[in-house]
Amino acid sequence: MFSTPFLDLPPLAGASGTVRLPGSKSISNRVLLLAALAGGTTTVHDLLDSDDTRVMLDALAALGCRIDRAGAGLRIEGLDGRLRTSGAKLFLGNAGTAMRPLTAALALLGGEFELSGVPRMHERPIGDLVDALVQLGCRIDYLGNPGYPPLAIHPVPLDSLQLAAPIRVRGDVSSQFLTALLLALPLAAGAASERADQASGRDITIEVIGELISKPYIEITLNLLSRFGIEVRREGWERFVIPAGSRYRSPGDIHVEADASSASYFIALGAIARGEGIRIEGVGADSIQGDIRFVEAARLMGAHIDSGPNWLAISRGAWPLKAIDLDANHIPDAAMTLAVMALYADGPCLLRNIASWRVKETDRIDAMAKELRKLGATVEDGPDFICVHPLARAGWRAASIRTYDDHRVAMCFSLAAFNPAGLPVRILEPHCVAKTFPDYFETLFSVAEAAEVPVLCIDGPTASGKGTLAVAVAYQLGYHYLDSGTLYRVTGLAMRRNGLEADAAHEMQIAELARTLPLRFSEGKVLLSGEDVSDAIRTEAAGMDASRVSALPAVRKALLALQKSFRRLPGLVADGRDMGTVVFPDATLKVYLTASAAQRAERRHKQLISKGISTTLDGLRADLEARDLRDSSRSVAPLKPAPDARLLDNSLLSVEQSVEQVLAWWQEVQPFGSS
């Protein structure tokens, strides 16, 4: 996951390949709750691991559920309708699929609970659900604003509940209120049938008031209830009957499909990008998720889509895409993706009946309209619609996209990087994707192709601090990191271990070694044939060997291809001696870092002393000067600043100040205005 303050997406040109997507959020959280309410043990396979499922799992653990890893799956020992705690304070983040269903389940389970979430969760309505539960006889108080979390839930005896009359719930703000009742009320149906004295044999009826929105999510709920042994009778979308005596029965094992809403970004990618097309695995035509119908919308816009039971294959069809006018009420989450696809259409696209966007992770109509306008688009919006006009090449602007802590804003705006103007897109706070798809950007980068991946080079003499600076800058930008010096050091080490000398006679043999180096960088460690050689390559002797092998032209050539292969999306920070001059002459920014020999000797001295290696300052300084001379006078790629490099003398700067300076220069060469 990218935890950087922003992530710059370079202009993207094509995309090809296969992605396997993480599990469905809607299925995962329903299955977790049902497994917890049921008796027995349920093993859940392919569960989504994200913020939304983590808050659900934490909540269930707090209720006393035993949750263990079972191979790649998760084993949940259900409560069988009986709490193993008398109460708890539960933090549910911004997960609607945790807050709403848990409110209903806990109101029926008994116990004292407090349910809260992130500030935005406290602005997301829950009043219609609370009203329905209170009408039943449940006791729930608002701890903040009436109609919104946080909530206090108090215990009531199940046999005091008013189950005879239909339970009425509004369905026009969120379908999750109805889902919550459907998932939780079998608790009461089961309990009622256990009591011989009363209520036994009574069905529980729920009536929906107002036009139900997001209907396909109710189908997910009914489908999963059925897998847990509860067969709800549905009469249109107005009446739902939970038969008397219903009891949750664990299916034992259950598999979670890949998330169809997450698939929308990759379906769109296949429709927009040039290339061999995108194959999505884990979700397909047999999906129980309503958002699979995004496929229909993408086809309307011209995408070519083939599908099998649990796969989709998408490629570009009509181009530009065809404009659509769509009632998107059935696919509220995936429809946001259409709003960005609209930028590539042949006319304005109208998405209607989407009022619920306004009460989700953010006011999504407002957020989409604002951010699309930043890209240059003309957008009309109203209480329940958005109309997005396409953008001609000249109309595009480079923009910093605010994401409002909304995963879907972050994910769908990544598609703007395919703009024909070749402009990068900056996604602010990209870590918000953690709600449902923590590795979204990594997955995107595994299939997207950029015309040019940005590179920031930091060259300079030994002990100038370029490694520390480059690592810090790479971290800030979320870029890959290449320590090219390490490649030479590892080659030097391999040379020694093979009994070779760094001379012309062995040049070809060393070059062959370099070409086939079994080298891996893992968690800050340098692994050679699996052995951690991080320390072995950091000695002064290894440094000398590195310098010597680096003077051999055949070795440099062998390592060139290896170095270039580090240039991968979203970008690279490379440190070394010839990054800007030889390896990446077209780098976006080149920095040449220097410090006085005295300063560098002092830093190196401190470093070695801290590792318990004793040296003298004078000796170190003499070595450094000798190495500078050798590096700058070698015939191939001598150490010198690229003509277009910016010079940074860090003799008097702290690491933080140097990082700040390089990031300020980086910002200067970007086309983004302020956000």
Ligand X SMILES: O=C(O)C1=C[C@@H](OP(=O)(O)O)[C@@H](O)[C@H](O)C1
Ligand Y SMILES: C=C(OP(=O)(O)O)C(=O)O
Nearest to 26 by CA among 185, 256, 246, 188: 256
Q: How far is the CB of 26 from ligand Y (least distance, A)?
A: 7
Residue 213 binds which entry of ligand Y, ligand X, none, CB below 5-8 Å type-dependent: ligand X
466 marked among binding-site residues: yes
Confirm if 163 and 204 have CB atoms less than 8 A apart.
Answer: yes
465 marked among binding-site residues: yes
The correct pick among 24, 28, 97, 547 for binding ligand Y (CB under 6 A) is 97
Binding window for ligand Y (CB under 6 A); candidates: 92-100, 202-210, 248-256, 557-565: 92-100
Query: Omega before 320 cis (within 30°)?
Result: yes
Residue 588 binds which entry of ligand X, ligand Y, none, CB below 5-8 Å type-dependent: none
Residue 289 binds which entry of ligand Y, ligand X, none, CB below 5-8 Å type-dependent: none
DSSP summary character for residue 383 = T
Number of residues that bind ligand Y (CB under 6 A): 9
Active site residues: 333
Find the helix or strand (DSSP H, E) in which 246 lies.
none
The correct pick among 163, 213, 263, 417 for binding ligand X (CB under 6 A) is 213
Q: How far is the CB of 77 from ligand X (least distance, A)?
A: 24
The residues that bridge with 139 in the sheet, in sequence order, are 154
Q: CA separation (Å) from 260 to 16, 100, 269, 286, 434?
A: 19, 21, 14, 11, 16
Interacting positions 81-120 with ligand X (CB under 6 A): 96-97
DSSP-based three-state secondary structure for 419: coil
Nearest to 282 by CA among 272, 292, 273, 290: 292
Residue 170 binds which entry of ligand X, ligand Y, none, CB below 5-8 Å type-dependent: none
Q: How far is the CB of 97 from ligand X (least distance, A)?
A: 5
Interacting positions 310-349 with ligand X (CB under 6 A): 332-333
The residue type of 248 is Y
Q: Does 95 bind ligand Y (CB under 6 A)?
A: yes
Interacting positions 8-37 with ligand X (CB under 6 A): 26
DSSP-based three-state secondary structure for 333: coil
Residue 358's Cβ-count burial label (10 Å; 0-12, 13-18, 19+) is middle
Q: Does 176 bind ligand X (CB under 6 A)?
A: yes
Round to whole Å and give the CA distance between 43 and 38. 12
Q: Does 333 bind ligand Y (CB under 6 A)?
A: yes
Question: Which residue stretches of 44-198 are H helix?
Answer: 51-62, 96-109, 127-136, 176-184, 186-194
Residue entry with tokens 């703009």:
419
Binding window for ligand X (CB under 6 A); candidates: 81-89, 112-120, 169-177, 369-377: 169-177
The residue count of the chain comes to: 675
List the structure tokens of 80. Answer: 């069988």
395 marked among binding-site residues: no
Binding window for ligand Y (CB under 6 A); candidates: 89-97, 554-562, 591-599, 635-643: 89-97
Nearest to 627 by CA among 553, 534, 543, 552: 543
Round to whole Å and give the CA distance between 131 and 137. 10
190 marked among binding-site residues: no
Residue closer to ligand X, measured from CB, 282 or 332: 332
Please state at what angle helix 260-272 crosses helix 440-447, rounded to 10 degrees. 30
The correct pick among 28, 42, 53, 175 for binding ligand X (CB under 6 A) is 175
73 marked among binding-site residues: no
The residues that bridge with 533 in the sheet, in sequence order, are none
Taking CB atoms, the residue at the shortest distance from ligand Y is 96
DSSP summary character for residue 612 = T
Round to whole Å and give the CA distance between 290 and 63. 31
Residue 436 binds which entry of ligand Y, ligand X, none, CB below 5-8 Å type-dependent: ligand Y
The correct pick among 50, 214, 581, 658 for binding ligand X (CB under 6 A) is 214
Residue entry with tokens 């139900």:
212
The correct pick among 28, 315, 356, 484 for binding ligand X (CB under 6 A) is 356
80 marked among binding-site residues: no
The correct pick among 389, 408, 431, 567 for binding ligand Y (CB under 6 A) is 408
Round to whole Å and give the CA distance between 104 and 185. 8
Q: Spell out the long-range contacts of 522-527 with Cβ–Cβ below 8 A and sequence spacing 24 or more.
A: 526/486, 526/490
Residues 6+ apart with CB under 8 A from 226: 232
Residue 408 binds which entry of ligand Y, ligand X, none, CB below 5-8 Å type-dependent: ligand Y
Q: How far is the CB of 100 from ligand Y (least distance, A)?
A: 8
Interacting positions 252-291 with ligand X (CB under 6 A): none
Binding window for ligand X (CB under 6 A); candidates: 59-67, 174-182, 427-435, 446-454: 174-182
Which residues carry a binding-site annotation? 25-26, 30, 96, 124, 174-176, 214, 333, 360, 364, 408, 435, 460-468
Task: Give the residues lining the site for ligand Y (CB under 6 A).
Answer: 94-97, 333, 360-361, 408, 436
Which residues carry a binding-site annotation for phosphoenolpyruvate? 25, 96, 124, 176, 364, 408, 435
Task: Give the residues lining the site for ligand X (CB under 6 A).
Answer: 26, 96-97, 174-176, 179, 213-214, 217, 332-333, 356
